[in-house]
Amino acid sequence: MTQQILPGGVLAAGFLPARASSVAGGVDGVFGALFWISVFFLVLIVGLTILFVVRYRVRAGRTEPDVTASHDTRLELLWSVVPLAILMGLFAASTRTWLHMVRGDGGSGAPLEVHVTARKWSWWFDHPGGRGAGELHLVAGRPTELVLASVDVIHSLYVPEFRLKQDAVPGRFTRMTFTPTLPGTYAVLCAEYCGTDHSRMSAKVVVHPDQRSFDAWVREGQAAVASLAAQGKQVFAQRGCAGCHSLDGTRRVGPSMKGLWKRKEKLADGSEVLVDHEYLRESLVKPAAKIVAGFPNVMPPVVLDERDLAALAAYLETLSESP
């Protein structure tokens, strides 16, 4: 995960917060380029304006304007082609950075997946290994994927040092992929106005220098907080899911949950669907939307709190891990 810093990025060093993620260099590069191009044209335009105002002001004995040329093809081509080239350059640079953001940086190793639950007015982070906390913990150099959900209105997770911002939207999951590069503690802010205490909706993100330090933090909290998967197991039991869905592969009214997570499931209409967070949500809220081939359409809708939904997903995931 090398930091990509485009030429304009030099500006950023003195003015902007530390660059602490794999995409920060690209963002600063685009920002710096925009900034310096704007400075150049500001000076050019204001400078020429002042020059012309002084030079061609009305003076005694000079009332008629000079005759001016009707047009100049070379000049017109120049001021069309140069801005076009500048804009296309900016377009290419920002698209490259954006692709880097949405595709991830292809870093090695399985990504550290953290589930983020936003609500008025706090953040909750469920980390792998079972520790949930009001602060986000990550590992420097380890690819990271945040899966965001909101229980009420739209919030937006923003970490200035990462140069990243992602909305948490009620009724769906959103994702943010990046690699933190610089160990340290930074602020998590909410960047979408969400009501009275929006400005206080902040948290801390701690980037651990290595996996060992992160693991120690996870263990330290395990006694205090039930793991997400354990909570999911409870939800599964309390909501009566086991009435129709077995855990051991036995066929009942509905498909078994064993080995279901991330499987390609055949549907009644002949198409296939990947069993992931989105499919789980849809199957709970609108069970009739995608019926698995060979099963009756009899499931009632189940409405879950966002955190319970994330917990259930974590639980189903554990059912696919066991041999």
Binding stretches for ligand CUA (CB under 6 A): 121, 155, 190, 192-194, 198, 201
Q: What's the min distance (Å) between Cβ of 288 and ligand CUA?
A: 33
First-to-last C-alpha distance (Å) of the chain: 34
Q: What's the min distance (Å) between Cβ of 306 and ligand CUA?
A: 14
Q: What's the min distance (Å) between Cβ of 187 and ligand CUA?
A: 14
Which of 113, 167 has the CB closer to ligand CUA? 167
Phi, psi dihedrals of residue 72, rounded to the nearest 5°: -140, 105
What's the token pair of residue 205?
């993100």
Which of 173, 236 has the CB closer to ligand CUA? 173
Q: What's the min distance (Å) between Cβ of 192 and ligand CUA?
A: 5
In angstroms, the Cα distances linking 251 to 2, 99, 246 are 49, 43, 7
Which of 19, 155 has the CB closer to ligand CUA? 155
Q: How many CB atoms lie within 10 A of CB 35?
A: 15
Q: What's the min distance (Å) between Cβ of 156 and ligand CUA?
A: 7
Give residue 302's identity as a one-letter amino acid code: V
Which of 22, 150 has the CB closer to ligand CUA? 150
Burial of residue 244, with CB atoms counted within 10 A of its CB: 0-12 exposed, 13-18 middle, 19 or more buried: middle
Which of 198, 290 has the CB closer to ligand CUA? 198
Q: What's the min distance (Å) between Cβ of 124 and ligand CUA?
A: 12
> In the β-sheet with 164-168, what is the strand arrangement from edge to edge?
136-139, 203-208, 184-190, 155-159, 164-168
Q: What's the min distance (Å) between Cβ of 169 and ligand CUA?
A: 12
265 close to 321: Cβ distance less than 8 angstroms: no
In angstroms, the Cα distances linking 5 to 9, 142, 194, 235 are 6, 20, 34, 47
Q: What's the min distance (Å) between Cβ of 303 and ligand CUA?
A: 22
Which of 159, 201 has the CB closer to ligand CUA? 201
Of residues 142, 281, 144, 145, the one with CA closest to residue 213: 142
Q: What span, in angstroms and rounded, lies between the C-alpha atoms of 95 and 35?
A: 17
Q: What's the min distance (Å) between Cβ of 170 and ligand CUA?
A: 12
Under 8 Å CB-to-CB from 66, ≥6 apart: which residues?
Answer: none
Which of 127, 155 has the CB closer to ligand CUA? 155
Which of 52, 193 has the CB closer to ligand CUA? 193
Which of 152, 276 has the CB closer to ligand CUA? 152
- Preceding omega of 121 cis (within 30 degrees of 0): yes
What's the token pair of residue 97?
């950075």
Q: What span, in angstroms and rounded, lies between the C-alpha atoms of 135 and 188?
A: 9
